[in-house]
Protein backbone atom coordinates (compact mmCIF):
# COMPACT_ATOMS: atom_id res chain seq x y z
CA UNK A 1 0.00 0.00 0.00
CA UNK A 2 1.47 3.31 -1.10
CA UNK A 3 0.39 6.43 0.81
CA UNK A 4 -0.75 9.46 -1.16
CA UNK A 5 2.18 11.88 -1.41
CA UNK A 6 2.37 13.97 1.74
CA UNK A 7 -0.36 11.94 3.52
CA UNK A 8 -0.37 9.00 5.90
CA UNK A 9 -3.15 7.16 4.09
CA UNK A 10 -3.63 5.51 0.70
CA UNK A 11 -6.13 6.42 -2.02
CA UNK A 12 -8.25 3.42 -1.02
CA UNK A 13 -8.28 4.59 2.60
CA UNK A 14 -9.24 8.09 1.48
CA UNK A 15 -12.12 6.69 -0.61
CA UNK A 16 -13.31 4.52 2.29
CA UNK A 17 -13.37 7.57 4.58
CA UNK A 18 -15.26 9.55 1.94
CA UNK A 19 -17.75 6.66 1.53
CA UNK A 20 -18.24 6.65 5.31
CA UNK A 21 -19.10 10.36 5.19
CA UNK A 22 -22.02 9.57 2.87
CA UNK A 23 -23.66 7.68 5.77
CA UNK A 24 -23.22 10.51 8.31
CA UNK A 25 -26.46 11.42 10.03
CA UNK A 26 -28.35 8.40 8.66
CA UNK A 27 -29.48 7.17 12.08
CA UNK A 28 -31.16 3.81 12.57
CA UNK A 29 -31.36 2.51 9.01
CA UNK A 30 -29.76 -0.35 7.09
CA UNK A 31 -26.47 0.75 5.52
CA UNK A 32 -25.84 -1.50 2.50
CA UNK A 33 -22.34 -1.20 1.12
CA UNK A 34 -22.15 -3.32 -2.04
CA UNK A 35 -18.55 -4.21 -2.82
CA UNK A 36 -15.43 -3.81 -0.72
CA UNK A 37 -14.97 -0.04 -0.47
CA UNK A 38 -18.66 0.81 0.17
CA UNK A 39 -18.83 -2.03 2.70
CA UNK A 40 -15.78 -0.75 4.57
CA UNK A 41 -17.19 2.79 4.32
CA UNK A 42 -20.48 1.75 5.91
CA UNK A 43 -18.57 -0.15 8.61
CA UNK A 44 -16.32 2.83 9.33
CA UNK A 45 -19.36 5.12 9.64
CA UNK A 46 -20.90 2.71 12.12
CA UNK A 47 -17.76 2.43 14.24
CA UNK A 48 -17.22 6.20 14.35
CA UNK A 49 -19.97 8.81 13.88
CA UNK A 50 -23.09 6.79 12.91
CA UNK A 51 -23.27 4.07 15.59
CA UNK A 52 -27.00 3.42 15.12
CA UNK A 53 -26.61 2.08 11.57
CA UNK A 54 -27.72 -1.49 10.89
CA UNK A 55 -25.47 -3.77 8.86
CA UNK A 56 -26.16 -7.14 7.27
CA UNK A 57 -24.00 -10.04 6.26
CA UNK A 58 -24.96 -10.21 2.56
CA UNK A 59 -27.07 -13.28 3.30
CA UNK A 60 -29.94 -12.96 5.74
CA UNK A 61 -28.75 -11.80 9.15
CA UNK A 62 -28.31 -8.37 10.68
CA UNK A 63 -25.00 -7.99 12.50
CA UNK A 64 -24.23 -5.60 15.33
CA UNK A 65 -20.65 -5.02 14.21
CA UNK A 66 -19.06 -5.01 10.75
CA UNK A 67 -17.73 -8.38 9.55
CA UNK A 68 -14.14 -8.07 8.31
CA UNK A 69 -14.11 -9.00 4.60
CA UNK A 70 -12.06 -11.99 3.49
CA UNK A 71 -11.00 -14.98 5.56
CA UNK A 72 -12.71 -14.78 8.95
CA UNK A 73 -10.41 -16.99 10.99
CA UNK A 74 -12.00 -17.43 14.38
CA UNK A 75 -14.21 -14.34 13.97
CA UNK A 76 -17.88 -15.01 14.67
CA UNK A 77 -20.47 -12.64 13.16
CA UNK A 78 -22.37 -10.83 15.93
CA UNK A 79 -25.94 -11.56 14.86
CA UNK A 80 -28.63 -9.16 16.04
CA UNK A 81 -31.51 -10.02 13.74
CA UNK A 82 -33.02 -11.92 10.82
CA UNK A 83 -33.39 -10.26 7.44
CA UNK A 84 -34.35 -12.69 4.68
CA UNK A 85 -34.81 -11.22 1.20
CA UNK A 86 -38.55 -10.79 1.66
CA UNK A 87 -37.90 -8.58 4.69
CA UNK A 88 -35.25 -6.64 2.77
CA UNK A 89 -37.87 -5.63 0.20
CA UNK A 90 -40.27 -4.52 2.93
CA UNK A 91 -37.54 -2.56 4.68
CA UNK A 92 -36.27 -0.80 1.59
CA UNK A 93 -39.71 0.03 0.16
CA UNK A 94 -40.34 1.54 3.59
CA UNK A 95 -37.31 3.75 3.07
CA UNK A 96 -35.19 2.58 6.02
CA UNK A 97 -32.04 2.00 4.04
CA UNK A 98 -29.16 3.73 2.29
CA UNK A 99 -27.44 1.70 -0.41
CA UNK A 100 -24.05 2.37 -1.97
CA UNK A 101 -23.03 0.41 -5.05
CA UNK A 102 -20.76 0.58 -8.07
CA UNK A 103 -22.72 1.09 -11.27
CA UNK A 104 -21.27 0.19 -14.66
CA UNK A 105 -22.52 3.48 -16.11
CA UNK A 106 -23.81 6.68 -14.50
CA UNK A 107 -25.22 9.81 -16.17
CA UNK A 108 -25.36 13.47 -15.14
CA UNK A 109 -28.73 12.99 -13.40
CA UNK A 110 -27.48 9.99 -11.42
CA UNK A 111 -29.32 7.40 -13.47
CA UNK A 112 -27.30 4.21 -13.10
CA UNK A 113 -26.92 1.08 -15.22
CA UNK A 114 -25.92 -2.32 -13.87
CA UNK A 115 -27.85 -4.38 -16.39
CA UNK A 116 -26.05 -4.55 -19.71
CA UNK A 117 -23.80 -2.70 -22.17
CA UNK A 118 -24.95 -2.00 -25.72
CA UNK A 119 -28.25 -2.75 -27.41
CA UNK A 120 -30.74 -4.10 -24.87
CA UNK A 121 -32.08 -6.59 -27.44
CA UNK A 122 -28.65 -8.02 -28.11
CA UNK A 123 -26.22 -6.60 -25.60
CA UNK A 124 -22.52 -6.45 -26.27
CA UNK A 125 -22.08 -7.39 -22.63
CA UNK A 126 -24.88 -8.85 -20.55
CA UNK A 127 -24.40 -7.96 -16.91
CA UNK A 128 -26.52 -8.83 -13.88
CA UNK A 129 -29.90 -7.43 -14.81
CA UNK A 130 -31.49 -4.55 -12.88
CA UNK A 131 -31.65 -6.55 -9.60
CA UNK A 132 -33.36 -4.47 -6.89
CA UNK A 133 -31.99 -1.16 -8.11
CA UNK A 134 -35.27 0.28 -9.53
CA UNK A 135 -37.05 -0.26 -6.19
CA UNK A 136 -34.03 0.79 -4.10
CA UNK A 137 -33.39 3.98 -5.96
CA UNK A 138 -36.97 5.27 -5.94
CA UNK A 139 -37.52 4.49 -2.25
CA UNK A 140 -34.40 5.44 -0.29
CA UNK A 141 -31.07 7.26 -0.51
CA UNK A 142 -28.45 5.91 -2.90
CA UNK A 143 -24.74 6.62 -3.20
CA UNK A 144 -22.05 5.36 -5.52
CA UNK A 145 -18.41 4.36 -5.50
CA UNK A 146 -16.63 4.48 -8.84
CA UNK A 147 -13.03 3.23 -8.74
CA UNK A 148 -12.33 4.10 -12.39
CA UNK A 149 -13.63 7.61 -13.05
CA UNK A 150 -13.64 7.91 -16.83
CA UNK A 151 -15.78 8.66 -19.85
CA UNK A 152 -16.86 5.02 -20.24
CA UNK A 153 -18.38 5.07 -16.76
CA UNK A 154 -19.61 8.66 -16.42
CA UNK A 155 -21.49 8.71 -19.69
CA UNK A 156 -23.70 11.03 -21.67
CA UNK A 157 -26.43 8.37 -21.77
CA UNK A 158 -26.60 5.03 -19.97
CA UNK A 159 -27.55 1.96 -22.03
CA UNK A 160 -30.26 0.87 -19.61
CA UNK A 161 -31.65 3.06 -16.85
CA UNK A 162 -31.63 0.57 -13.95
CA UNK A 163 -31.98 3.13 -11.15
CA UNK A 164 -33.90 6.39 -11.09
CA UNK A 165 -32.18 9.77 -11.13
CA UNK A 166 -33.16 13.39 -11.45
CA UNK A 167 -33.80 13.39 -15.23
CA UNK A 168 -37.02 15.41 -15.50
CA UNK A 169 -38.02 13.64 -18.72
CA UNK A 170 -38.31 10.34 -16.84
CA UNK A 171 -40.79 11.56 -14.21
CA UNK A 172 -44.38 11.73 -15.38
CA UNK A 173 -47.05 13.79 -13.60
CA UNK A 174 -48.26 12.10 -10.42
CA UNK A 175 -45.16 9.97 -9.84
CA UNK A 176 -43.60 10.45 -6.42
CA UNK A 177 -40.01 11.63 -6.77
CA UNK A 178 -39.82 12.83 -3.16
CA UNK A 179 -38.71 9.54 -1.58
CA UNK A 180 -35.56 9.14 -3.68
CA UNK A 181 -32.29 10.86 -2.97
CA UNK A 182 -28.89 10.60 -4.57
CA UNK A 183 -26.45 11.41 -1.82
CA UNK A 184 -22.82 11.10 -2.89
CA UNK A 185 -20.62 9.70 -5.62
CA UNK A 186 -17.11 8.87 -4.48
CA UNK A 187 -14.62 8.21 -7.27
CA UNK A 188 -10.87 7.71 -7.49
CA UNK A 189 -10.60 11.41 -8.38
CA UNK A 190 -13.17 13.32 -6.40
CA UNK A 191 -16.39 13.38 -4.40
CA UNK A 192 -19.51 14.55 -6.20
CA UNK A 193 -23.16 15.16 -5.44
CA UNK A 194 -26.21 16.30 -7.40
CA UNK A 195 -26.26 19.90 -6.24
CA UNK A 196 -25.58 21.33 -9.71
CA UNK A 197 -28.19 23.08 -11.89
CA UNK A 198 -31.38 20.96 -12.19
CA UNK A 199 -29.84 18.33 -9.87
CA UNK A 200 -26.94 17.63 -12.19
CA UNK A 201 -23.62 16.33 -10.91
CA UNK A 202 -21.36 18.65 -9.00
CA UNK A 203 -17.83 18.19 -7.68
CA UNK A 204 -17.75 18.91 -3.94
CA UNK A 205 -14.13 17.95 -3.18
CA UNK A 206 -11.02 16.89 -5.04
CA UNK A 207 -8.67 14.15 -3.94
CA UNK A 208 -5.09 15.31 -3.22
CA UNK A 209 -3.21 16.21 -6.40
CA UNK A 210 -6.33 16.20 -8.61
CA UNK A 211 -7.54 19.39 -10.36
CA UNK A 212 -11.14 20.13 -11.34
CA UNK A 213 -10.02 20.04 -14.99
CA UNK A 214 -8.79 16.46 -14.51
CA UNK A 215 -12.22 15.39 -13.25
CA UNK A 216 -14.02 17.23 -16.06
CA UNK A 217 -11.66 15.68 -18.62
CA UNK A 218 -12.59 12.20 -17.34
CA UNK A 219 -16.34 12.86 -17.52
CA UNK A 220 -18.59 12.76 -20.61
CA UNK A 221 -20.85 15.61 -19.48
CA UNK A 222 -20.25 19.08 -18.02
CA UNK A 223 -19.76 19.16 -14.26
CA UNK A 224 -20.62 21.91 -11.81
CA UNK A 225 -18.40 22.64 -8.82
CA UNK A 226 -19.13 23.80 -5.31
CA UNK A 227 -18.04 27.28 -4.26
CA UNK A 228 -14.64 27.14 -2.59
CA UNK A 229 -13.84 23.68 -3.92
CA UNK A 230 -11.25 22.06 -1.67
CA UNK A 231 -9.51 18.81 -0.89
CA UNK A 232 -11.34 15.65 0.16
CA UNK A 233 -10.96 15.11 3.89
CA UNK A 234 -8.88 12.05 4.68
CA UNK A 235 -9.39 9.66 7.57
CA UNK A 236 -8.23 10.95 10.96
CA UNK A 237 -5.85 8.89 13.12
CA UNK A 238 -8.66 7.09 14.95
CA UNK A 239 -10.48 6.21 11.71
CA UNK A 240 -7.24 4.88 10.24
CA UNK A 241 -6.62 2.74 13.30
CA UNK A 242 -10.14 1.29 13.15
CA UNK A 243 -9.88 0.68 9.43
CA UNK A 244 -6.51 -1.05 9.64
CA UNK A 245 -6.83 -2.94 12.92
CA UNK A 246 -10.54 -3.77 13.10
CA UNK A 247 -12.48 -3.37 9.87
CA UNK A 248 -10.07 -4.70 7.26
CA UNK A 249 -7.59 -6.90 9.06
CA UNK A 250 -6.95 -8.84 5.84
CA UNK A 251 -5.93 -5.58 4.09
CA UNK A 252 -8.17 -6.30 1.13
CA UNK A 253 -8.27 -2.53 0.49
CA UNK A 254 -4.75 -2.87 -0.92
CA UNK A 255 -6.29 -4.66 -3.92
CA UNK A 256 -8.71 -1.84 -4.88
CA UNK A 257 -6.26 0.23 -6.88
CA UNK A 258 -3.56 -2.01 -8.38
CA UNK A 259 -0.05 -0.67 -7.74
CA UNK A 260 1.72 0.52 -10.87
Partner 1 sequence: MDKRMTATDVVGRLSDGMTIGVGGWGARRKPMALVRELVRSDLKDLTIVAYGGPDVGMLCAAGKVSRLIFGFVSLDLIPLDAHFRAARQSGSMKNIMELDEGMLQWGLRAAALRLPFLPTRAGLATDVETRNSELKTVTSPYEDGEVLMAMPALKLDAALCHVDHCDERGNGQILGPDPYFDDLFCAAAEQRFVSCEKILPTAEMTAAGPVQSMVLNRTLVDGVIEAPFGAHPTSCVPKYGIDVDHLKVYSAAAKQEGGFADYVNSFVSIDPDAYLEAVGGADKVGAIPAPVF
Of 32, 160, 52, 38, nearest to 107 (Cα)? 160
- The smaller minimum CB distance to partner 1, of residues 178 and 213, is found at 178
Does residue 73 bind partner 1 (CB under 8 A)?
no
Helical pair 11-22 and 36-47, crossing angle rounded to 10 deg: 60
Instruction: In whole angstroms, give the CA distance from residue 183 to residue 194.
Output: 7
- The smaller minimum CB distance to partner 1, of residues 72 and 152, is found at 72
Does residue 74 bind partner 1 (CB under 8 A)?
no
Instruction: In whole angstroms, give the CA distance from residue 51 to residue 48.
Output: 7
∠ CA 152-156-159, nearest 5°, is 70
Instruction: In whole angstroms, give the CA distance from residue 154 to residue 176.
Output: 26
> Coil, helix or strand for 154?
strand
**In the set 5, 73, 76, 82, which binds partner 1 (CB under 8 A)?**
82
Binding string, residues 188-227; x marks residues near partner 1 by CB under 8 A: ----------------------------------------
**In the set 105, 142, 153, 162, which binds partner 1 (CB under 8 A)?**
162
Does residue 174 bind partner 1 (CB under 8 A)?
yes
Does residue 50 bind partner 1 (CB under 8 A)?
no
| Beta pairing class for 97-101 and 141-146 | parallel
Residues paired with 181 in a beta bridge: 141
Q: What φ, ψ does residue 45 adopt, rounded to 5°?
A: -60, -45
Does residue 57 bind partner 1 (CB under 8 A)?
yes
Q: Give least dist CB 57 to partner 1, A.
A: 7
Does residue 58 bind partner 1 (CB under 8 A)?
yes
Does residue 172 bind partner 1 (CB under 8 A)?
yes
Q: What φ, ψ does residue 189 adopt, rounded to 5°?
A: -110, -30
- Site size toward partner 1, by CB under 8 A: 50
- The smaller minimum CB distance to partner 1, of residues 77 and 234, is found at 77
- The smaller minimum CB distance to partner 1, of residues 179 and 226, is found at 179
**Contact of 211 with 190, CB cutoff 8 Å:** no
**In the set 4, 65, 89, 249, which binds partner 1 (CB under 8 A)?**
89
- The smaller minimum CB distance to partner 1, of residues 130 and 186, is found at 130
Does residue 187 bind partner 1 (CB under 8 A)?
no
∠ CA 202-207-210, nearest 5°, is 90
Does residue 120 bind partner 1 (CB under 8 A)?
yes
The footprint of partner 1 on residues 130-149 (CB under 8 A) is 130-135, 137-139
**Contact of 33 with 45, CB cutoff 8 Å:** no
Residues of the shown chain interacting with partner 1 in the complex, contacts defined by CB under 8 A: 57-61, 72, 82, 84-86, 89, 92-93, 111, 115-116, 120-135, 137-139, 160-164, 167, 170-177, 179
Amino acid sequence: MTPIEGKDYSLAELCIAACAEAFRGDGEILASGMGLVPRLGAGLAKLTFSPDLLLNDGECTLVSEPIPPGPRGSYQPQVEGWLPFRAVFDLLWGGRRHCMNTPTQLDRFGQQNISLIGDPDQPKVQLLGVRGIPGNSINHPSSFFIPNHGKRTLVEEVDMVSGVGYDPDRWKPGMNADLMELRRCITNLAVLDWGGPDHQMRVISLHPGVRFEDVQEATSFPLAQIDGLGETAGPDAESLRILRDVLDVNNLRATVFPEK
